[in-house]
């Protein structure tokens, strides 16, 4: 085999290797761009999901805060009513004591007469 043929074969081989390297590099770049794009899409989907969940949580928090306020108001009203009822019980107990003293006095008066 003449030297020129070997040189041509080596040049062809080097050209093929160079073309393969370039093609491989281009394929790697395309693959990396595709992977990066998919990663970005996946991250954006996750961000969207988390954003929706955040909005739902914020709405629920607001609902619960309103409910807490309503229950606190009801609780305050019940405490006021409870206090009023306790005062009424004390008033009735004092009246009962007074009535019992009057009854006892009348019974003593009746026995003495």
Question: How many Cα neighbours within 13 Å face the side chain of 52?
Answer: 5
Render pLDDT for 21-64 as a digit per residue (tens, 0 to 9). Answer: 887 788 888 888 889 999 999 999 999 999 999 999 999 999 99
Average per-residue pLDDT in the chain?
Answer: 92
1, pLDDT greater than 70: no
């Amino acid at each position: 085999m003449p030297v020129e043929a070997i040189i041509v074969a080596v040049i062809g081989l080097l050209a093929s290797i160079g073309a393969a390297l370039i093609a491989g590099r281009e394929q790697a770049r395309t693959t990396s761009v595709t992977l990066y794009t998919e990663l970005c899409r996946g991250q954006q989907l996750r961000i969207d999901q988390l954003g929706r969940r955040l909005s739902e949580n914020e709405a629920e928090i607001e609902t619960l805060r309103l409910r807490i306020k309503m229950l606190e108001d009801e609780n305050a009203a019940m405490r006021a009513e409870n206090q009023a009822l306790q005062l009424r019980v004390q008033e009735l107990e004092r009246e009962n004591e007074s009535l019992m003293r009057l009854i006892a006095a009348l019974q003593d008066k009746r026995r003495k007469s």
